[in-house]
Amino acid sequence: MYDLLNKLCGPELVAQFQRLCGLSLLPEDKSPHRLSPEADRQAQPVSTPQAHTARRGHHANTGHPETNGAVSGTPVSRKKYKIENYFLYYLFLFAATLGQEVFYITFLPFCYWNIDPYVARRVINIWAIVMYIGQASKDVLKWPRPPSPPVVKLEVRVDAEYGMPSTHAMAATVIPFTFLLATMNRYKYPCELGLLLAVTICTLVSLSRIYTGMHTVLDVLCGIAITALLVVVSYPFWDAIETFQMKNRFAPLLALLLSFLVSIYYPELDHWSTARGDTTNIVSAGGGAALATWINHQWDLIPEPLSAPPYEIPSLSLGLLFRMGARFTIGIVIVFFARQAIKSLALALVCRLAGVSPEDQEARKLLRVEVPYKYITYSCLGVVGLAVCPAVHRYLSL
């Protein structure tokens, strides 16, 4: 058992999977100076089409630039690699985005506006809980990411975070499977098809974390297992949680206070990484969504179906597709501009209170700056997305 665990948490298995998929490091003395697609805009390419350079943002605890782990933030040398299968390269890069903010800020509102608020509320609640546990676990366990070499690193932004468990794998498990559980008794559709889709998404995103060199196999498996346990344990309480959010007059205050406290008292960092800020984004968005849920129920702004489930899934028509497209386009534009405006105002306010300049990038990493301004921004976005946007949709008869 020890040998198996040692192999699953080792970098060689990651490197073997990468080579199997056509991704491998090149020897330093033989590698042509061709940049990866992400870095093409920052350097001049040469003729060889398959040699690439991966940018990395830090070096490891050991101080050696060729390794990875919890780090100081010092820039390191580029690692050159070659890609032999571009289909898998772009497939896994796309799959990796399904665990990032761009996916959360588009899919979750889309689900609320165009599919079913009942389903979206459950997904958001469980997603916020699971992601906090996953992110906090990283900074408690402090397991480093797989080193390079032998692993090829394709991402820079989150490389300073620890690796165990994979929160991408957790997101890719909690969102589709919570969606499945919330819809399987509410709508008439083949549950086998929903299960197949959930498994496919979970598998694809999980494999992408190994392909991009950001997690070991054990990181990914633990992320899936922890999430599965949390979903199963929490499932009997989903209705009770939503009833409390809707009807208890102290629910909004409790949700906002709790999301702020867990962000402020996030596990202490031994070096700065994106983990604390990303976690604040998620839990504060969940707190804002809880406030929006209370508002919508108290003022009866989101009507519930009059009949009992299960419901028929409406057939797609040009009119329905147009309304869905219009709701999403208008909603995402409102969310985008609201995010920019609220973030600017919140950052200016918090920096003024903290006595630092909003232009100082290092000051933004301070606890007293990073958590409050992100908390204000994303808790407000939760209200904008789940209360303001539906109100605009109703006003426009969409």
Task: Indicate which residues carry an active-site annotation.
Answer: 168, 215
What number of H helices and E strands is found in the chain?
Answer: 14, 3
Q: Residue 106, class by beta-carbon neighbours within 10 Å (0-12 exposed, 13-18 middle, 19+ buried)?
A: middle
- Asked if 40 and 23 touch (Cβ cutoff 8 Å), the reply is no
Tokens of 98: 């399904």
Cβ(109)–Cβ(389) below 8 Å = yes
Cα Rg, the chain, nearest whole Å:
22
Cβ neighbours, 10 Å, residue 2: 6
Measure CA of the first residue to CA of the last residue in the chain; give whole Å.
Answer: 57
**Cα(187)–Cα(166) distance, integer angstroms:** 31
The string of DSSP codes covering 77-90 is: --EEEEES-HHHHH
Spatial distance between the Cα atoms of 288 and 281, rounded to a whole number of angstroms: 10
CB 335 within 8 A of CB 384: yes
- ∠ CA 138-146-71, rounded to 5°: 60
Instruction: Name the DSSP letter for residue 54.
Output: E
What is the rounded distance in angstroms from the CA atom of residue 87 to the CA atom of residue 288? 39
Question: What tokens appear for 241 in the block?
Answer: 């949680």
As a whole number of angstroms, the distance between CA 373 and CA 379 comes to 10
- 359: which 2 tokens? 């232009």
Are 32 and 50 contacting, i.e. CB atoms less than 8 angstroms apart? Answer: no
Taking residue 306's Cβ as centre, other Cβ atoms within 10 Å add up to 5
Residue 115 CB-half CA count within 13 A: 18
CA angle 245, 251, 254 (to 5 degrees): 130
Amino acid symbol at 139:
D
